[in-house]
């Protein structure tokens, strides 16, 4: 085998020592930093991808995204740079092996991982993912090869190579659909869209594999695997191994629900469920192998050192596929367009592609309220026409606009509930104040249940139907701010006309 051309070279401050592994997008090397007397892992982007701006942007985004993360269950990134068209990222070098290699070791020995070790790995992975999710970062490629088991017995999440920063620029479906189909959530494979619940689904597949020794869905082609994730019922873990605790099967069934709404919504929810499993339910020691699910080819789960015992290398490939969308298209699959919760390519999407800062939203809203009230006061002093006498309800529109600005900033779609109630009542009160027909309240009160119902129904539907409620919180906030300003100004204008003729 010819030596790797980078071995022995100096990249930046780092001397490349040896190759550690290769993934779908990059090669990883062990390297040495002489000034700090520290060994590191250097991840170099594949040379054939450097010319493709989409992949280069993803590689750069990976470095920026995870360099900001500081958590014991997430690999630490130290540096990112370019030298002679070699794009590389420098990470901490973890002493240990991947979960993928450990699972393969058990398979070669005819065993399965002990249940206490399984739960320990899951809890560590959930802690790392939970922190990343709290920072707005979705991993998108959780699988055993991306979970490192250190010499200290900890599980560390690695390779945020296709991480999606929530609120960042939306890539095309063909660009976004990257990953490993055996561990990919249905919505990610179908639409290229994913959120924290998609990461939980992928981790659930890893959990299933640790429990049973196999991933639940297997087929001869990528398209067939995707369709099984979308349509086939989950092979029950206790049908494969009746000795598994019922509590663990319940957790697997929930996290691997095909509808994201039926899964655990956060890592904390899943971690809490795992904490309910008592030690008495977890027998110590390795477990024996069990027959695989129907139609599963066991050769596909072997990799690492254990791959040397398998002669057919084509059936052991589990690298992240950077060309997955095109692979599926060649098999006749056409991904659905992005769901309505994703930002479409239009002016509104451009306006709300990123949230406002909370201080900016507060001061912006207060500035607009102050400006409109100042105009009303100046009008009174100049013309003698009192806007407040008939148009005081414009202040309620401004209050709705203030809350809408906050919703735009914090991206919480549930703020639509008070906003809709305030906005609806502002319309009714404006009508009564300007026309003076307060007796119409006898009939108008019947609108109140409709307003409250809409205020509850719309956020609920967004929760159920929209994959990205943050986008709709931003979009709803921007739209409500515009409507509030227009209606507040219109109310003031009508009030001036009424004051002029009465």
Handedness of CA 289, 295, 298, 304 (dihedral sign): negative
Q: Which fold has domain 1-93?
A: Phosphorylase Kinase; domain 1 (3.30.200)
Contacts of 384 (CB under 8 A, 6+ apart): none
- Residues 349 and 337: their CA atoms lie apart, in Å, by 16
Diameter of the chain measured on Cα atoms: 96
pLDDT at residue number 119: 94
pTM: 0.62
Reading the block at residue 126, the tokens are: 């959930």
pLDDT at residue number 306: 43
pLDDT at residue number 28: 86
Please state the domain extents for the chain. Answer: 1-93, 96-339, 348-501
**pLDDT, one tens digit for every residue, the chain (502 residues):** 445 678 878 888 889 888 887 766 678 888 999 888 899 888 887 776 666 666 666 667 667 777 778 899 998 888 888 888 788 888 888 888 889 889 988 888 888 999 999 999 999 999 999 998 888 888 888 999 889 998 888 999 988 755 554 434 333 333 445 567 889 888 887 777 788 999 999 999 999 999 999 889 887 777 788 888 888 889 999 999 998 999 999 999 999 999 888 899 999 999 999 999 888 778 777 777 787 776 665 555 544 444 444 333 332 335 565 556 555 665 555 555 544 444 444 455 555 555 677 788 888 888 888 888 888 888 888 888 888 888 888 889 889 888 988 888 887 888 899 999 998 898 999 888 888 888 888 888 888 899 999 999 888 887 766 555 677 788 888 888 889 888 888 888 888 888 777 7
Q: Which fold has domain 96-339?
A: Transferase(Phosphotransferase); domain 1 (1.10.510)
- Count of alpha carbons within 13 angstroms of residue 180, beta-carbon side: 30
pLDDT at residue number 340: 43
60-64 contacts, C-beta under 8 A, 24 or more apart: 60/87, 61/163, 61/165, 61/168, 62/89, 62/160, 62/161, 62/162, 62/163, 63/89
**CB atoms inside a 10 Å sphere around CB 370:** 11
Task: Give the three-state DSSP class for 155.
Answer: strand
pLDDT at residue number 117: 92
181 and 92 Cβ atoms separated by less than 8 Å: no
- Residues 182 and 23: their CA atoms lie apart, in Å, by 16
204 and 196 Cβ atoms separated by less than 8 Å: no
Confirm whether 321 is a catalytic residue: no
pLDDT at residue number 155: 94
Reading the block at residue 215, the tokens are: 């991933």
pLDDT at residue number 297: 59
Catalytic residue among 37, 79, 81, 141: 141
Q: Is 154 left (phi over 0), alpha (psi -120 to 50) or beta?
A: beta
């Amino acid at each position: 085998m010819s030596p790797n051309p980078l071995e022995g070279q100096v990249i930046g401050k780092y001397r490349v020592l040896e190759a550690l592994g290769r993934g779908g997008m990059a090669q990883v090397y062990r390297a040495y930093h002489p000034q700090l007397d520290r060994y590191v892992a250097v991840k170099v982007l594949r040379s054939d991808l450097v010319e493709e701006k989409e992949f280069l942007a993803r590689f750069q985004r990976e470095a920026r995204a995870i360099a900001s993360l500081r958590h014991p269950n997430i690999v630490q990134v130290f540096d990112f740079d370019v030298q002679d068209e070699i794009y590389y990222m420098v990470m901490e070098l973890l002493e240990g092996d991947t979960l993928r290699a450990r699972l393969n070791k058990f398979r070669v020995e005819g065993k399965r991982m002990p249940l206490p070790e399984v739960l320990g790995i899951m809890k560590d992975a959930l802690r790392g993912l939970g922190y990343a999710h709290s920072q707005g970062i979705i991993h998108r490629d959780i699988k055993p090869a991306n979970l490192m088991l250190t010499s200290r017995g900890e599980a560390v999440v690695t390779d945020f190579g296709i991480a999606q920063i929530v609120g960042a620029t939306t890539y095309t479906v063909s660009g976004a659909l990257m990953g490993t189909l055996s561990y990919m959530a249905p919505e990610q494979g179908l639409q290229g869209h994913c959120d924290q619940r998609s990461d939980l689904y992928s981790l659930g597949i890893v959990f299933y594999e640790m429990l049973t020794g196999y991933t639940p869905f297997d087929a001869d082609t990528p398209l067939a695997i995707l369709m099984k994730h979308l349509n086939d019922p989950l092979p029950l873990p206790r049908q494969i191994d009746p000795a598994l605790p019922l509590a663990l099967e319940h957790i697997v069934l929930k996290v691997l629900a095909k509808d994201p709404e039926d899964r655990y919504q956060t890592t904390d929810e899943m971690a809490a469920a795992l904490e309910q499993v008592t030690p008495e339910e977890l027998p110590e020691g390795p477990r024996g192998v069990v027959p695989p699910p129907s139609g599963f080819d066991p050769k596909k789960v072997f990799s690492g050192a254990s791959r040397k015992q398998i002669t057919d290398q084509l059936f052991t490939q589990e690298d992240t596929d950077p060309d997955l969308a095109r692979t599926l298209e060649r098999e006749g699959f056409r991904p659905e367009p992005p769901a309505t919760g994703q930002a479409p390519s239009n002016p509104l999407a451009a306006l709300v592609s990123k949230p406002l800062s909370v201080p900016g939203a507060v001061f912006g809203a207060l500035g607009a309220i102050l400006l409109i009230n100042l105009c009303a006061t100046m009008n009174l002093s100049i013309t003698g026409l009192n806007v407040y006498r008939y148009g005081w309800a414009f202040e309620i529109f401004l209050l709705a606009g203030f809350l809408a600005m906050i919703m735009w900033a914090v991206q919480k779609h549930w703020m639509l509930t008070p906003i809709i109630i305030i906005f609806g009542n502002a319309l009714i009160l404006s009508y009564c104040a300007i026309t003076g027909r307060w007796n119409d309240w006898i009939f108008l009160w019947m609108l109140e249940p409709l307003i409250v119902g809409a205020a509850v129904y719309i956020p609920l539907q967004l929760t159920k139907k929209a994959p990205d409620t943050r986008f709709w919180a931003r979009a709803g906030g921007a739209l409500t701010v515009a409507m509030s300003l227009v209606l507040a100004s219109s109310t003031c204008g009508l009030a001036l006309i009424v004051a002029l003729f009465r």
